[in-house]
Amino acid sequence: MTDASAPRPKPRRARGLMDRRGPALALERELIANIAKVYEDWGFEPLETPAFEYAEALGKFLPDQDRPNEGVFAFEDDEEWVALRYDLTAPLARFVAENFDALPKPYRRWAAGPVWRNEKPGPGRYREFWQCDADTVGSASPAADAEMIAMASAALGAAIGDAGRPFLKVSDRRLLDGLLETLSFTEGRSPEQSRLIVLRAIDKLDRLGDDGVRDLLMAGRKDASGDFTPGAGLVLREAEDVIDFVRGTEVDSDDAVLNFLANKLAKSKRGTEGVEALGQLQQCAKALGLGPKDWRIDTSIVRGLEYYTGAVFEASIDDTSKYGSVGGGGRYDDLVARFRGEQVPATGFSIGVSRLATVLEARGSDAVEIGPVVVLVMDQARVADALAMADELRRAGVRAEAYLGAAGMKAQLKYADKRASPIAVIQGGDELAKGVVTLKDLKLGAKIASGLGEDREAYAKAREQVQVEVPRDQIVAAVQQMLAR
Amino acid sequence: MTDASAPRPKPRRARGLMDRRGPALALERELIANIAKVYEDWGFEPLETPAFEYAEALGKFLPDQDRPNEGVFAFEDDEEWVALRYDLTAPLARFVAENFDALPKPYRRWAAGPVWRNEKPGPGRYREFWQCDADTVGSASPAADAEMIAMASAALGAAIGDAGRPFLKVSDRRLLDGLLETLSFTEGRSPEQSRLIVLRAIDKLDRLGDDGVRDLLMAGRKDASGDFTPGAGLVLREAEDVIDFVRGTEVDSDDAVLNFLANKLAKSKRGTEGVEALGQLQQCAKALGLGPKDWRIDTSIVRGLEYYTGAVFEASIDDTSKYGSVGGGGRYDDLVARFRGEQVPATGFSIGVSRLATVLEARGSDAVEIGPVVVLVMDQARVADALAMADELRRAGVRAEAYLGAAGMKAQLKYADKRASPIAVIQGGDELAKGVVTLKDLKLGAKIASGLGEDREAYAKAREQVQVEVPRDQIVAAVQQMLAR
């Protein structure tokens, strides 16, 4: 099959993608399992939709619309455009609309899986990443939003254990809608466009500060590289109003925040709706055991996706922006209506699994990797004996494998080290003749070797403890004993 | 956001794809977890590669080369062609070649995930399906092949429990290569093309019988619909030779099979290599505890993928073709060499998770689905009370949720039924005044209702047992007690 003269392809994974293996992957899988356990306990059932959907069904809700295919990976199939899912929410909306009559209402589901975004890759920014979502479809109640933040708090807590405390920030899209009703826009844009520019400007408050955001809200802003971003076209007083609106929620008491917002938005029906919904959410959050160490109202929370219509959430670990957001979500009452016409209110939360794993890795872990016991093969003609020994160990519940390469003893021990193996099992010709095997404690061996330097006598003595000879028929008990110490 | 006059997209999943939810999905996940546990016990570490790869890196090894894009879903990204993976083996070869120096050799990994094939969908034939693979890269030893079939047997056994016994059929591509050396091909095709036609013909022996396969090996075959499949161009004596070669291994003793093959292929170096490798595999399989109830040599095993170079495996549940193959694999010594030039021998096994789940579902299951306890909401103003009750139950380890829709009591009880809920918790105005809640045992209620018909007295009596009133502060203990009975 292989033609030696044929040009060889270069082995490289596609741009912006990631391979994950061993303990790092195991950590991510454990995170997902712990999050899923919480979602299931809260009454959510699993759902798995396909990796791609008709592009029309996914809709166009990503923030980066200047990217190719508006941020998605799309291709033609049987003369219809399909696209890899960019989140787990848009496919859920399609699924609910397609199976509406068969589903319990509200329909509560969780899902975990990769999503794909056709974005410019960068450090820590990949084009495939895992999300773990929960959504309640068919409930307009702020209780459902409160449940989302309480469950997100519980799920993140279960996932990270002692490594930190989850913190949620909550806002409502209707607040800003209410504020915008009072503002003029001189640039002749549609209200939707202006809303988007204002949202994006607020989203940059942390990074650009009041001055930068004020520029973006007014005529526009030129950054250090000379690039110009057009502004929302507000006059100074209006821009200050928007900034005050966001800064005004930076106080400790949620009651004070709600009063501030109620006064500010008293003239707007939509804004007042948002404030009232937040008030009910606050009551329900309290009933679910959440306090000021767990969450607060913060109008600087924007969330990039355009389908949100009400409450929006953002989660971090501890109340700092050090590691950035590890999840977010919100209410999207119109997403199912795209298909059905009638409104189907919904709310959901998405945890960024890869991001959460990065936070945990940055905080370090004490876990020591323990690989399989490795049975060495000293004579290729006797590989079946090694297979049988490994099998005996496995049947007794011990992770074990026979070495299946062609290398000598030294390389086999190096292999065992690379596999984080705790014990090597060795049966050379002498041992075979005596009916014994040698067990080598690799973890202890490494410890002694690193502390003993060139002292031959001490080395010889330590070796006695590290290597033991046991009868062939007592191999299982001896390995279990060595593993236990 | 929603424009009522805008044309509404139809909610439909893309062609040939599948949504999976609830218990069916949970079953698949459990299968994967059980298989993965075995792979880990045997010393394999997890790996996750991305969903798509440069098309060049994946290569062209699918059998259905007459399909668009040769059976894959491909699209252009930054002026390079990428394609969704069609299996988990081709990405592994890329990964090993890209990270060769950093990996332990042999490199043993398992992987689970969806793969995509651009095939014509049909009943039970989807274009996205899950595989769960294990591979040993860097071992030329038949011991590694034997390990694959023993591990596949153990993994399938762990996955299906009492539902059946895994059975493996094993052949070696070199056997047929040896046989083909002795045959003439009159059609002027390349040896590779002829080999492929012969392989495909043999693969159809079960379905078409000797006569149909003989036609395919000679001039070609017209099927019932009138479609003509060109043949391999053998003369009658040669075609009979091929059929004898396959039928000749349909005997009980593997020793007899090996003798038959050794005689048949004595003149071919490559054929003899294959027979010798099978002999060593047989010895190793015995050392790993496999007997004639677990596997046998069967030269009718072909496997569709073109990258196999030596041993090939196929697994079913019990030794019948009733449910078809639930997995397969083989040796592919040249796949990494595509990138590196030098040969890196490898062997692997892939379990078709969806197919396995279908087998299990067809055999039925006694498992009764138990959903979450549902706390009803009798007064929307008191939803926070319901949230708090559900939270109390969860903190005590009971799956529970508050009903978050807007419907009345009857619809809420229907909802609880649809969720397979064991208990409904009810606190109306009367109960609130008395400081109690009503617990309704829904499973018992359903049982009694279905058996009692119109007998009002019996119904009233049963109702007493089904519904109990408990003080609000004893809700957790009372629910746990009811769940336990």
* Mean pLDDT value across residues A359-388: 88
**A115 DSSP β-pair partners:** A129
> Which H helix or E strand runs over B131?
strand B128-137
- Kindly determine whether residue A106 and residue B405, on different chains, have CB atoms separated by under 8 Å: yes
- Residue of chain A with shortest Cα separation from B154: A395
**Nearest Cβ partner of A46 from B25, B43, B143?**
B25
Please state, in angstroms and rounded to a whole number, the distance separating the CA atoms of residues B234 and B189.
Answer: 12
- Dihedral Cα B215, B221, B222, B224, nearest 10 deg: 70
**pLDDT-derived band of residue A366, with 50, 70 and 90 as boundaries?**
low
Residue B2, pLDDT score = 47
The answer, for B45 touching chain A at a CB cutoff of 8 Å, is yes
**Token output for B300:** 């009718």
Q: Is A129 on the interface with B (CB under 8 A)?
A: no
Q: What is the arithmetic mean of pLDDT over A364-371? A: 75
pLDDT at A3 over 70: no
pLDDT at A2 over 50: no
Q: Which CATH superfamily is domain B373-484 in?
A: Anticodon-binding domain (3.40.50.800)
pLDDT bracket for residue A250 (50, 70, 90): confident
Higher pLDDT, A365 or B114: B114
Q: How confident is the model at residue B366 (pLDDT cuts 50, 70, 90)?
A: low
**From CA B418, how far away is CA B371, in angstroms rounded?**
9
What type of residue is B423?
I
User: CB–CB of A8 and B341 under 8 A?
Assistant: yes
Q: Residues 366..405 of B with a Cβ closer than 8 Å to A: which?
A: 371-372, 374, 380, 383-385, 387-388, 390-391, 394, 399-405
Q: Is A94 on the interface with B (CB under 8 A)?
A: yes
Specify the pLDDT at position B267: 92
- Rg (C-alpha) for chain A, rounded Å, is 29
Q: In what order do the strands lie in the sheet with A166-172?
A: A295-297, A166-172, A311-317, A327-331, A346-352, A128-137, A107-116, A45-48, B20-21
Using only C-alpha atoms, what is the Rg of chain B?
29
- Tell me the average pLDDT across B456-469: 79
Distance from CA of A459 to the nearest CA of B (A): 27
Task: Note whether B171 and B312 are within 8 A (CB).
Answer: yes
**Parts of chain A belonging to CATH 3.30.930.10:** 22-182+267-362
Which whole number is the average pLDDT over A74-86?
91
Q: What pLDDT digit, counting tens, does each position of B189-229 carry?
A: 777 777 788 888 888 888 899 999 999 999 899 988 889 98
Contact residues on chain A for B32, CB-CB shorter than 8 A: none
Task: Give me the CATH topology for the region B22-182+267-362.
Answer: BirA Bifunctional Protein; domain 2 (3.30.930)
Pairing mode, strands A107-116 and A128-137: antiparallel
Neighbours of A439 (CB within 10 A): 21
How many Cβ atoms are within 10 Å of A341's Cβ, its own excluded? 12
Q: Is the Cβ–Cβ distance between B334 and A1 less than 8 Å? A: yes
Shortest CA distance from A414: residue in chain B: B104
Q: What is the pLDDT of residues A110-150, one digit of tens each?
A: 999 999 999 888 887 899 999 999 999 999 999 999 999 99
- C-alpha A194/C-alpha A371 separation (Å) is 57
Cα A381 to Cα A403: distance, rounded to the nearest angstrom: 13
Higher-pLDDT residue of B250, A311: A311
- The CB-based long-range contact list for A225-230 (8 Å cut-off, 24+ gap) reads A230/A187, A230/A197
Mean pLDDT for all residues in chain A: 89
Q: What's the gap in Å between the CA of A136 and the closest CA on chain B?
A: 9
pLDDT for res B454: 63
- What is the 3-state composition of chain B as percent helix, strand, coil, each rounded to the nearest 5? 45, 20, 35
- B21: chain A residues, CB-CB within 8 Å: 45-48, 109
Residue B20 contacts A, CB cutoff 8 Å:
yes
Confidence of residue A452 (pLDDT cuts 50, 70, 90): low
Note whether A46 contacts B54, CB cutoff 8 Å: no
Chain A residue with CA closest to B385: the answer is: A287
A255 touches chain B (CB under 8 A): no
To the nearest whole Å, the CA of B452 is away from the closest chain A CA by 27
Q: Nearest chain B Cα to A385, which residue?
A: B287
Of B378, B364, B371, nearest to B425 (Cα)? B378
Do B445 and B466 form a contact (C-beta atoms < 8 A)?
yes
Determine, for residues B371 and A43 on separate chains, whether the beta-carbon distance falls below 8 Å.
Answer: yes
Give the span between the Cα atoms of A91 and B12, in whole angstroms: 10
* Rounded CA separation B137/B47 (Å): 13
Comparing CA positions, the residue from B427, B440, B428 lying closest to residue B466 is B440
Q: Residue B69 carries which DSSP code?
A: G
CB-CB under 8 Å, A105 with B51: no
What would the pLDDT profile of B3-22 be if each residue is shown by its tens digit?
A: 555 678 999 999 999 999 98
How far is C-alpha A177 from the geometric centre of its chain's CA atoms?
30
Given a cut of 60, whether residue B401 has pLDDT beyond it is yes
Find, among A410, A419, A405, A425, the residue nearest to A469 by Cα: A425
% of chain A exceeding 70 in pLDDT: 93
DSSP structure string for A38-93: HHHHTTPEEEE--SEEEHHHH-S--S-TTSGGGGS-EEEETTEEEEE-SSSHHHHH
A56 in reach of chain B (CB within 8 A)? yes
Over residues A163-218, the pLDDT tens digits come to 889 999 999 999 988 988 877 766 667 777 777 888 888 888 888 999 999 999 99
Looking at residue B259, what DSSP letter applies? H
Interchain CB distance below 8 Å, B419 and A104: yes
Alpha carbons A192 and A175: distance in angstroms, whole number = 15
Q: Is residue A157 helix, strand or coil?
A: helix
A153 and B CB contact within 8 Å: no
Q: Which of residues 270-309 of B touch A (CB under 8 A)?
A: 283-284, 286-289, 306-307, 309
Distances in Å between the Cα of B315 and the Cα atoms of A408, B252, B395, B401 are: 34, 18, 45, 43
Note whether A346 and A137 are within 8 A (CB). yes
B427 touches chain A (CB under 8 A): no
Show the CA angle centred on residue B386, arms to residues B398 and A287, nearest 5°: 95
Please give the Cα distance from B381 to B358 (Å, whole number). Answer: 46
Between helices B269-287 and B142-160, what is the axis angle to 10°?
50
Is the pLDDT at B323 greater than 80, yes or no?
no
Interface subset of A 209-238, CB within 8 angstroms of B: none
d(CA A288, CA A154): 10
| Residues A50-68 pLDDT 10s | 999 999 998 877 665 545 5
A251-254, long-range: CB < 8 A, 24+ apart: A252/A292, A254/A282, A254/A292, A254/A296, A254/A297
CB distance from B165 to chain A under 8 Å?
A: no
Residues of chain B in contact with residue A340, where contact means CB-CB under 8 angstroms, are 8, 11
- Is A378:A403 a contact under the CB 8 Å cutoff? no
Predicted confidence (pLDDT) per residue in B44-65, tens digit: 999 999 999 999 998 877 665 5
Taking an 8 Å cut-off on Cβ atoms, the answer to whether B337 and A2 are in contact is yes
Inter-chain touch A288–B388, beta carbons under 8 Å: yes
* A110 near B CB under 8 A: no
In terms of Cα–Cα distance, which of A278, A272, A179 is closest to A232? A179
Q: Which of A175, A115, A110 lies closest to A148, judged by CA?
A: A110
A18/B50 CB distance under 8 A = yes
> Residue A362 in contact with residue A344, Cβ under 8 Å?
no
Residue of B nearest to A397 (CA): B41
Other C-beta atoms lying within 10 Å of the C-beta of residue B59: 19
CB-based contact B386:B400 (threshold 8 Å) = no
pLDDT at A186: 60
- pTM score: 0.90
Predicted local confidence at residue B7, as pLDDT? 76
Give the 3-state secondary structure of residue B17: coil
CA-closest candidate to residue A128, choices A139, A138, A117: A117
**Average of per-residue pLDDT values in chain B:** 89
- Do the chains contact at B146 and A338, CB–CB below 8 Å? no
Instruction: Determine the average pLDDT of the residues in B322-334.
Output: 89
Decide if A53 and B14 are in contact by the 8 Å CB cutoff. yes
Sorting pLDDT into bands at 50, 70 and 90, what band is B322? low
Q: Decide if B41 and A339 are in contact by the 8 Å CB cutoff.
A: no
Model confidence band, residue B187 (pLDDT cutoffs 50, 70, 90): low
β-bridge partners, B441: B423
Residues of chain B with CATH 3.40.50.800: 373-484
Distance CA A417, CA A356 (A): 29
